[in-house]
């Protein structure tokens, strides 16, 4: 029996060993192979045959610069909670841990402060499911944190509070991106921000619902910003919607703008008011340098937003193509048919003033969209989509 056959049988036995499959140390495994060809052969065997069979059991991985890229890309580690990196250079870490590197994120749910900690990590950029996970990151397990960028899926009521206020008060930069609507701005988000007294840069992307009033510059200053005497930069994209109010009580956009400008913040906003006596206010800082913007409506005033690539669930296409020239993904949601339909046919004289060019758009989605919008994008010769390669649309709509 040759060496290769022996190795394969040994690895197969390991794959069936539940104790081994929970924690795999690739640094130790590969260090036992003195020849480079043997190390590569062993790593190939794991990535091609073993990991796909045991990935659902793996809770802990130890990796080095030779194994990290392949191992993290090959598996979907749903139970992984511990990742140990050995001899990983800062450059390699930057190359691997970015938005373009596709591997399943580690779970931060229900971790005690003793499960994971670091006395050297100062910069943290993570996506978490619950707001409680965000609080866990600030409870003292990272003693040298100065910058935190966190995207949160769900912000809801909880009894969890910050146990280590010193960590929070020492933060210099904090960015909070809420990926979904929340009703807990006043009793969850504001109390956290009020503890960040040393903050120099604050970024907020929030969609807040069912408040008694719109979030404006006065409210932000009184409840949050005045507690941050060192603040040098405040970037925001804040929507307040489903606010119940009589039409005569809806503030003017100029009044909303004034509350921000008087506190030194350049911004713009627009207000929607529906038949159900519910108001919506969308306020955003200028210049706008986020890559994503909350959904916009017909009252959006326009402008130039060079960094935005994935913001929308609505329409008014010419203005959007000009304002968001780097847009790569567009979602359209509007069940109301267009009142002024215009489809430029290829054999008609070209009306260049109506041309909409989405030079960078690669993905277009029609969810809950009237057929008029589908026709405008797919049949109008004045709608230019040179890079589009993904189209999401109900098949029945195309058959009408």
Which residues, 6+ apart, have CB-to-CB distance to 291 below 8 Å?
A: 307, 308, 309, 310
Q: How far apart are CA 128 and CA 353, in angstroms?
A: 44
The pair of three-digit structure tokens given for residue 209, joined into one six-digit string: 């619902």
User: Which pLDDT score, from 0 to 100, does residue 153 have?
Assistant: 92
Mean pLDDT computed over 316-325: 74
Whose structure tokens read 């373009």? 100
User: Which pLDDT score, from 0 to 100, does residue 310 have?
Assistant: 45
Instruction: Using the predicted structure, report yes or no on whether residue 80 has a pLDDT greater than 60.
Output: yes
Instruction: Using the predicted structure, report yes or no on whether residue 237 has a pLDDT greater than 70.
Output: yes
Contact between 193 and 169 under an 8 Å Cβ cutoff? The reply is no
User: Which pLDDT score, from 0 to 100, does residue 146 have?
Assistant: 92
263 vs 335 pLDDT, higher one:
263
User: Which pLDDT score, from 0 to 100, does residue 352 have?
Assistant: 46
User: Which pLDDT score, from 0 to 100, does residue 218 have?
Assistant: 94
186 vs 323 pLDDT, higher one:
186
User: Which pLDDT score, from 0 to 100, does residue 311 have?
Assistant: 40
Instruction: Using the predicted structure, report yes or no on whether residue 275 has a pLDDT greater than 80.
Output: no
Of the candidates 317, 141, 281, the residue with the CA atom closest to the CA atom of residue 206: 281
Among 96-100, 137-141, 326-330, the least confident range:
96-100
Contact between 357 and 393 under an 8 Å Cβ cutoff? The reply is no
Instruction: Using the predicted structure, report yes or no on whether residue 258 has a pLDDT greater than 70.
Output: yes
Of the candidates 281, 270, 208, the residue with the CA atom closest to the CA atom of residue 245: 281
Q: How far apart are CA 281 and CA 252, in angstroms?
A: 10
Among 92-101, 172-181, 202-211, 233-242, the least confident range:
92-101
Q: To the nearest whole number, what is the mean pLDDT of the chain?
A: 80
- Beta strand pairing status for 173-178 and 233-244? unpaired
Strand residues in 102-169 grouped as ranges (E): 123-130, 147-154
SS3 of 325-344: the string is CCCCEEEEEECCCCCCCCCC
The model scores a pTM over 0.75: no
Q: How far apart are CA 47 and CA 66, in angstroms?
A: 13
| Percentage of the chain lying above the pLDDT 70 cut | 77
The pair of three-digit structure tokens given for residue 260, joined into one six-digit string: 């921000």
Helix (H, G, I), strand (E, B) or coil at 37: helix
Helix (H, G, I), strand (E, B) or coil at 56: coil
Looking from the CA of 201 toward its CB, the CA atoms found within 13 Å total 8
Among 28-32, 149-153, 239-243, the least confident range:
28-32
Q: What is the pLDDT of residues 279-302, one digit of tens each?
A: 999 999 988 888 888 888 767 776
From edge to edge, which strands make up the β-sheet containing 329-334?
A: 329-334, 363-369, 390-392
Q: What is the pLDDT of residues 168-188, one digit of tens each?
A: 888 999 999 999 999 999 999
User: Which pLDDT score, from 0 to 100, does residue 257 have?
Assistant: 94
User: Which pLDDT score, from 0 to 100, does residue 313 have?
Assistant: 37
Burial 125-143 (b: 16+ CB within 10 A, else e): eeebbbbbbbbbbbbbbbe
Contact between 96 and 67 under an 8 Å Cβ cutoff? The reply is no
**pLDDT band at residue 41 under the 50/70/90 scheme:** confident
Q: What is the pLDDT of residues 301-313, one digit of tens each?
A: 766 555 655 443 3
User: Which pLDDT score, from 0 to 100, does residue 60 have?
Assistant: 87
Instruction: Using the predicted structure, report yes or no on whether residue 239 has a pLDDT greater than 80.
Output: yes
User: Which pLDDT score, from 0 to 100, does residue 360 have?
Assistant: 86
As to burial, measured by CB atoms within 10 angstroms (0-12 exposed, 13-18 middle, 19+ buried), residue 157 is exposed
The pair of three-digit structure tokens given for residue 152, joined into one six-digit string: 């949160």
Nearest-5° Cα angle at 254, 250 to 258? 110
User: Does an H or E element contain 253, and which?
Assistant: helix 253-261
**pLDDT band at residue 8 under the 50/70/90 scheme:** low
User: Which pLDDT score, from 0 to 100, does residue 190 have?
Assistant: 95
User: Which pLDDT score, from 0 to 100, does residue 95 have?
Assistant: 65
User: Which pLDDT score, from 0 to 100, does residue 109 have?
Assistant: 52
Q: How far apart are CA 212 and CA 335, in angstroms?
A: 28
Most confident of 96-105, 228-237, 331-340: 228-237
- Beta strand pairing status for 278-285 and 267-273? antiparallel
Q: What is the pLDDT of residues 131-149, one digit of tens each?
A: 988 888 888 778 888 999 9
Of the candidates 249, 239, 188, 246, the residue with the CA atom closest to the CA atom of residue 209: 239
Q: How far apart are CA 289 and CA 301, in angstroms?
A: 17
Helix (H, G, I), strand (E, B) or coil at 168: helix
Most confident of 250-259, 329-338, 371-380: 250-259
**pLDDT band at residue 196 under the 50/70/90 scheme:** very high
Q: How far apart are CA 273 and CA 299, in angstroms?
A: 10
Mean pLDDT computed over 378-395: 82
Q: How far apart are CA 62 and CA 78, in angstroms?
A: 16
271 vs 314 pLDDT, higher one:
271
Q: How far apart are CA 79 and CA 57, in angstroms?
A: 7
Q: How far apart are CA 353 and CA 321, in angstroms?
A: 13
Mean pLDDT computed over 104-112: 51
Q: How far apart are CA 373 and CA 314, in angstroms?
A: 10
């Amino acid at each position: 029996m040759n060496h290769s056959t022996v190795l394969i049988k040994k690895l197969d036995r390991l794959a069936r060993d539940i104790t081994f499959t929970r924690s795999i140390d690739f640094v130790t495994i590969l260090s036992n192979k003195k020849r480079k060809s043997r190390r590569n052969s062993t790593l190939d065997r794991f990535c091609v045959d073993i990991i796909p069979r045991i990935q659902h059991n793996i809770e802990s991985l130890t990796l080095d610069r030779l194994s990290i890229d392949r191992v993290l890309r090959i598996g979907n580690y749903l139970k992984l909670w511990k990742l140990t990196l050995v001899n990983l250079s800062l450059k390699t870490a930057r190359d691997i841990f970015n938005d373009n590197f596709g591997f399943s994120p580690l779970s931060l749910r229900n971790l005690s402060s003793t499960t994971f900690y670091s006395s050297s990590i100062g910069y943290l950029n993570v996506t978490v499911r619950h707001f409680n996970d965000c609080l866990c990151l600030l409870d003292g397990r990272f003693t040298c944190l100065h910058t935190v960028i966190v995207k949160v899926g769900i912000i809801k009521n909880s009894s969890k509070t910050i146990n280590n206020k010193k960590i929070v008060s020492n933060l210099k930069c904090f960015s909070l991106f809420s990926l979904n609507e929340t009703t807990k701005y006043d009793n969850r988000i504001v109390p956290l921000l009020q503890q960040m007294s040393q903050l120099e840069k604050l970024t907020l992307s929030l969609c807040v619902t069912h408040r008694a009033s719109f979030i404006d510059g006065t409210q932000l200053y009184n409840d949050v910003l005045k507690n941050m005497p060192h603040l040098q930069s405040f970037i925001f994209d804040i929507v307040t919607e489903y606010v119940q109010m009589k039409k005569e009580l809806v503030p003017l956009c100029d009044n909303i703008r004034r509350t921000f400008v008087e506190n030194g913040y350049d911004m713009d906003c627009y207000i929607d008011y529906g038949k159900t006596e519910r108001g919506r206010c969308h306020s955003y800082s200028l210049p706008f340098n986020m890559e994503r913007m909350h959904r916009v409506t017909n009252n959006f005033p326009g402008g130039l937003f060079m960094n935005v690539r994935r913001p929308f669930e609505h329409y008014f296409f010419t203005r959007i193509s000009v304002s968001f020239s780097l847009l790569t993904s567009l979602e359209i949601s509007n069940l109301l048919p267009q009142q002024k339909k215009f489809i430029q046919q290829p054999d008609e004289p070209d009306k260049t003033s109506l041309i909409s060019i989405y030079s960078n758009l690669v993905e277009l989605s029609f969810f809950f969209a009237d057929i008029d919008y589908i026709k405008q994008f797919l049949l109008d010769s004045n709608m230019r989509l040179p890079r589009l390669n993904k189209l999401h649309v109900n098949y029945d709509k195309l058959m009408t």
